[in-house]
Each structure stands twice: as C-alpha cells, then as structure tokens.
Amino acid sequence: MSISRSGGQLVVDALQVHGVELIFGVPGESYLPVLDALHDSKIRFIINRQEGGAAFMADAYGKLTGQPGICFVTRGPGATNASIGVHTAYQDSTPMILFIGQVGNDFVEREAFQEIDYRRMFGPMAKWVAQIDRAERIPEYIARAFQVATSGRPGPVVLALPEDCLAAMAQVADTRHYTPVQASPSATQLSQLREHLAAAQRPLVLLGGTSWDTLACQRISDFAKINHLPLACAFRFQDLVDNAHPNYIGDVGIGINPKLAQRIKDADLVIAIGPRLGEMTTGGYTVLEAPIAKQKLIHIHSDALELGRVYQADMMINSGMKEIAEALSTMAPLDASAWQHTVAQAKADLQAWQQEPAIFAQENAPLNLWQVVQTIQANTPDDTIITNGAGNYATWAHRYYRYGGFRTQLAPTSGAMGYSVPSGVAAKIVHPERTVITFAGDGEYMMNGQELATAVQYKAGLVIIVFNNGMFGTIRMHQEKEFPARVSGTELHNPDFAALARAYGASGEVVNSTEEFAPALARALAHTRQYQLPALIELRYDGNLITPGASLQTLRKMAQDAGK
C-alpha cells in the first residue's frame, strides 16, 4: 500500500508525474499545503504580481511547449483576475490548467469569504471545470485535466482545490504520465483530398490553430514546396511557416493584404489545415462566405465539433496537426502545372505589401516605425520570439516582421490587451538562450507592465518596445471612422515609461527619431545579455500614424466626406 500523503503533496506529486518543471501563479492562503509541498519539489514556481499576468504566462508556456501551462491562484479575487488568461487559452486553443484554492467544504455554499462557484464562472470558457472534493481522487482528476487540456482541440481546464481536501491525508497511488489523443485522417479521406487537389486550378493552403510541432510544420512546408502550393497563415498563427519559405504568401487576419484576400476569393480550392474559421481569418465571413463558401473548402481540424460549426465544407477531416502533416508528407506529388506559377506571384504580392509605406514621408515623421521593424529584423537571430497583445501597434510586427518559423510568435487571437509583457517574460524564462522582443502599446503595456518586476526577479532579459502614441489607438481609429472629430474616452496621459522601467531595475530609454533607434536597440540587447535583465525602449511618436495605410486625419476626413 502506498504511503499517506497530504492533498497538497498529492497535487505536486501528480504534476511531477506529468513532467511539470515550471509553473506560474500568485500565492493565497487557500492553498498553503501545495506551497509547502512545492518547497521540496523540483518544480520551479514563478511568482507573478497579478494573476492576469500569471495566466497569460501559463498560456504562453502552453503555446511554446505544447504542454499545459500551469497556473496557481487563490479563491474569488485571484480566480477573477486570472480569467482573462483562461478566456485567451480557450479562444487560442492553448493547453492550460488553472488550479484555484477553494473555500473548504465546511463553509462552502454559504457565500463564504471569497467564494465563487467555479463551475458556473468558468463553464463557458474552459474545456472542463471541476472541483476535487476527496484527496484520494487528486491523481485521477489531475491526470484527466492533462488529458483534456491536450487532446483534440487543446484548451484550458480549471480545477478547484478546497482547503480541507488539500490538508487531508490519503493513501493513493500515482497515475501514469498522460497521453494526448488526436484523430488521424483515414486513407479514404486522403485519397479524396488528393482528388480534389488534382482537379483544382487555383488551390491555396491556409494554416492555423495549435497542436503543431516543429516536425509537423516542416512537413507541411515541404508538402507545399513539392506541390507548388501557396501557403498562407491564419491570424496570429503566422509563425507556422518560416516566412522566408518560398511558398509562404502572407497572413490572413486584421488588415489583410487586399491582394491576398482577392487571391483567396479567387481560389477554387482552399485547404484549411488547423484554423478555426472565425471572422478574423475570413474577413468577417467575406473572404470565405458562410455557411457554404464559393470556393471548394476542405477543413481539417483537431475538434470534430469545430467542423461544420459555421462552414459546411466540401470535406471535413477530423485530425490532429501532427497526424495530418505526417499523412500529407507521404502523399505522391501532384501535377502542379495548372497552379505552379501562382506561388511566385503571390510571394511578389507579399513582398510588395511589406515595402516601406508612404505614410512616414507624407507625414514628415521623425520616427519611422517600418524602419524600427527592419532594424529589429536585421539585428536579431532568426529564432527570435516576438510577442504582442492587442492594439494598432501590433500591425507593425504582423505586417512587416518576417517570423522565423514555429513558435517565434506569441500573440493572442482572443485580442486580449495585456498579453505582451507576460508572454515575453514567460518566453525568456522558457528559452533563456533565445532573443525575446515584446511589442507593447502604451495602453496595452499598462495592463500587465507590473510583470516587469517578475522579469527582474527571475533575470528574464527580454527587450520591451513600448509604442507610445498617447492613446488607445485602435479605439480612436474606429472612433474617427464612425464619429469623426469627436474624441471620447481614448486619450492617455502616460508615465515616463523609461524612468518607470529603471525604477524596476531594468534599463529604460526613450527614442524619438529613427536615427536613435538602432543604437538604443544595440544597447538594450547588450544590456539583456550582460546582466540577464530586461530592457525597455519607449518609442514616442505622433498618434496620427495610426496605420501603415492611412493617418488618423485621413480617416477622419474620409468619414466626414462620407457624411458621418
């Protein structure tokens, strides 16, 4: 018979059974037995400054490794703070497990201090929510949590741990390591897919979603190359292909290259491998019309329930990404003479789209943000990880940075602000040997900028670039389009970000002009390497530079001319 262990010890032992080495969180007295068991474990507990930051770090960990990101938080207040990360993991299909200390069973249901019913609170934004009421069942619940978080379409699981359950002693054996389960395409489906492709004139492959790994991405890139297929990536999954790959033709998201949108509309076959086909990836259901697209559509997804949810595709294949990639890598090459020429055309469209926009010259702008991205690209290794949250500043990365391949991009498809800094810090902790550059808006930075303290504490030497335009730019942009010249609720009076960074123990510099940026970046990179401490560069620029294509003034005038 196994020895008697506390609930807290059983939780930590179960995590170790499943290979966990790194976890994130904010402590609470609600889970002291877990904290105590961690004391003698090999698990590294990264202590965050706010649960939103902790949950975003767990999401970033899940995206980077494919293993569930683990986050520990306390009852009601901790859990509510962490919810943004759970929602993001759900929308982004990221494996994650959130453990919450819960009110003991002696007081539960009395609206005890900080009590919330997590099943109801997290029900719509997690794959599975449960409460473990008996210490003997902790190994079973945790094994299932790992199983659920990683199988099919990955996502978040929430487990509540009542105080008395963590304190209780139980004799129970450990489980085995979990085994993620994914579907595979059948031989019949593969031969049908091949027939559709053979009959096509203008096929296009669209990649997205999670449960990929380096080999699967390589296999799909090779499949595209051998068959001369144009390869696009869905919104914020643009690192599934090395962007320098000859077949990569651009990302399908907000502010899509109009030529790429037209190319998808004109395609006669779209093979969507992995993405959910939501409005960000379909131009609000215009590039692919719902429920029946004009193009022939083959939708391949890891979740059977995602297939047919919106699109009644011509073929729907339930498959994991590794499984479909392996299957496609063995497919006999097709005669590509009908479409072979389109790859170079589409690549040329992408390259033209990535040229310097005219706006900086037009506006006589001292700081050229396109040049900023070029400078970053030229001075960092190909495996650099770029992170960002929501905001118009992200466009400069998405459109002009050429991502170096699998897991060089961490960005929330949920469009959550506040993701940039925690994901950057987590990336640097997971991969200390890689360069990490975080793009943050001035609004966005303030939502989780406190995690700079976490970066300093754990010596995570990332570079943070704050795009300070003095406003919630995205909302101001929409405001000018709908209600021109009526600025309301979108202005920001900011602290001195560089001075603030120095107060945290990071380096901090302000850049006002293009010439200042390259030396500032060199100093920041040197600082991160020499001291393993973060560096922040604040870019101060005129808020009129809102998009690469049009200034705020132009948008205002267009709206006024349209009678708004």
Of 552, 56, 562, nearest in space to 46 by CA: 56
473 lies in the binding site for Mg ion (CB under 5 A): yes
**Residue number with CB closer to Mg ion (13 or 538):** 538
Strands (E), 35-112: 44-47, 69-73, 96-102
411 lies in the binding site for ligand TPP (CB under 6 A): no
69 lies in the binding site for ligand TPP (CB under 6 A): no
Q: Which of 441, 461, 508, 534 binds Mg ion (CB under 5 A)?
A: 441
Residue 143, both tokens = 């094994």
Q: Which of 59, 239, 306, 442 binds ligand TPP (CB under 6 A)?
A: 442
Contacts of residue 142, Cβ cutoff 8 Å, sequence gap at least 6: 11, 14, 15, 18, 97, 159, 175
**Residue number with CB closer to ligand TPP (8 or 415):** 415
**Residue number with CB closer to ligand TPP (93 or 490):** 490
61 lies in the binding site for ligand TPP (CB under 6 A): no
Least CB distance to ligand TPP at residue 412 (A): 9
| Cβ 511 vs Cβ 522: under 8 Å | no
418 lies in the binding site for ligand TPP (CB under 6 A): yes
154 lies in the binding site for Mg ion (CB under 5 A): no
Whole-number Å distance between alpha carbons of 177 and 66: 15
With CB cut-offs between 5 and 8 Å by kind, which of ligand TPP, Mg ion, none does residue 365 bind? none
418 lies in the binding site for Mg ion (CB under 5 A): no
559 lies in the binding site for ligand TPP (CB under 6 A): no
Least CB distance to ligand TPP at residue 455 (A): 19
66 lies in the binding site for Mg ion (CB under 5 A): no
With CB cut-offs between 5 and 8 Å by kind, which of Mg ion, ligand TPP, none does residue 251 bind? none
**Residue number with CB closer to Mg ion (282 or 469):** 469
Whole-number Å distance between alpha carbons of 476 and 491: 8
**Residue number with CB closer to Mg ion (224 or 539):** 539
Per residue, the 3-state secondary structure of 296-360, as one string, reads: EEEEEECCHHHCCCCCCCCEEEECCHHHHHHHHHCCCCCCCCCCCCHHHHHHHHHHHHCCCCCHH
3-state secondary structure of 230: coil
* Of 136-144, 167-175, 360-368, 472-480: span binding Mg ion (CB under 5 A): 472-480
Question: Can you say whether residue 67 is alpha, beta or left, with left for phi > 0 and alpha for psi between -120 and 50 degrees?
Answer: beta
With CB cut-offs between 5 and 8 Å by kind, which of Mg ion, ligand TPP, none does residue 415 bind? ligand TPP
Residue nearest to ligand TPP (CB): 441
Least CB distance to Mg ion at residue 470 (A): 7
Question: Can you say whether residue 465 is alpha, beta or left, with left for phi > 0 and alpha for psi between -120 and 50 degrees?
Answer: beta
Map residues 452-471 to x or -, x wherever contact with Mg ion holds by CB under 5 A: -----------------x--
Q: What is the identity of the amino acid at 561?
A: D
Residue 32, both tokens = 């002291």
Q: Which of 33, 391, 404, 405 binds ligand TPP (CB under 6 A)?
A: 391
3-state secondary structure of 534: coil
3-state secondary structure of 274: coil
412 lies in the binding site for ligand TPP (CB under 6 A): no
**Residue number with CB closer to Mg ion (93 or 490):** 490
Of 107, 111, 110, 119, nearest in space to 160 by CA: 119
390 lies in the binding site for ligand TPP (CB under 6 A): yes
Whole-number Å distance between alpha carbons of 400 and 404: 13
Least CB distance to Mg ion at residue 222 (A): 40
Whole-number Å distance between alpha carbons of 75 and 95: 22
Q: What is the identity of the amino acid at 52?
A: G
417 lies in the binding site for ligand TPP (CB under 6 A): yes
**Residue number with CB closer to Mg ion (95 or 473):** 473
555 lies in the binding site for ligand TPP (CB under 6 A): no
- Strands lying side by side in the sheet with 463-468: 409-410, 385-388, 436-441, 463-468, 535-540, 507-511
Q: How many residues bind ligand TPP (CB under 6 A)?
A: 19
**Residue number with CB closer to Mg ion (444 or 451):** 444
Footprint of ligand TPP on 443-502 (CB under 6 A): 443-444, 467, 469, 471-475
Of 233, 228, 315, nearest in space to 281 by CA: 233
Of 346, 347, 336, 196, nearest in space to 269 by CA: 196
**Residue number with CB closer to ligand TPP (150 or 448):** 448
With CB cut-offs between 5 and 8 Å by kind, which of ligand TPP, Mg ion, none does residue 417 bind? ligand TPP
415 lies in the binding site for ligand TPP (CB under 6 A): yes
83 lies in the binding site for ligand TPP (CB under 6 A): no
413 lies in the binding site for Mg ion (CB under 5 A): no
User: How far is residue 507 from each of residues 292, 440, 450, 500, 502, measured CA to CA in Å?
Assistant: 53, 16, 15, 9, 5
Q: Which of 442, 480, 509, 538 binds Mg ion (CB under 5 A)?
A: 442
With CB cut-offs between 5 and 8 Å by kind, which of ligand TPP, Mg ion, none does residue 406 bind? none
* Of 258-266, 331-339, 435-443, 454-462: span binding Mg ion (CB under 5 A): 435-443
3-state secondary structure of 365: coil
**Residue number with CB closer to ligand TPP (227 or 413):** 413
Whole-number Å distance between alpha carbons of 171 and 176: 17
Residue 157, both tokens = 């699981």
Overall residue count recorded for the chain in this entry: 564
- Give the footprint of Mg ion on this chain (CB under 5 A): 441-443, 469, 473
| Residues engaged in binding ligand TPP (CB under 6 A) | 390-393, 415-418, 441-444, 467, 469, 471-475
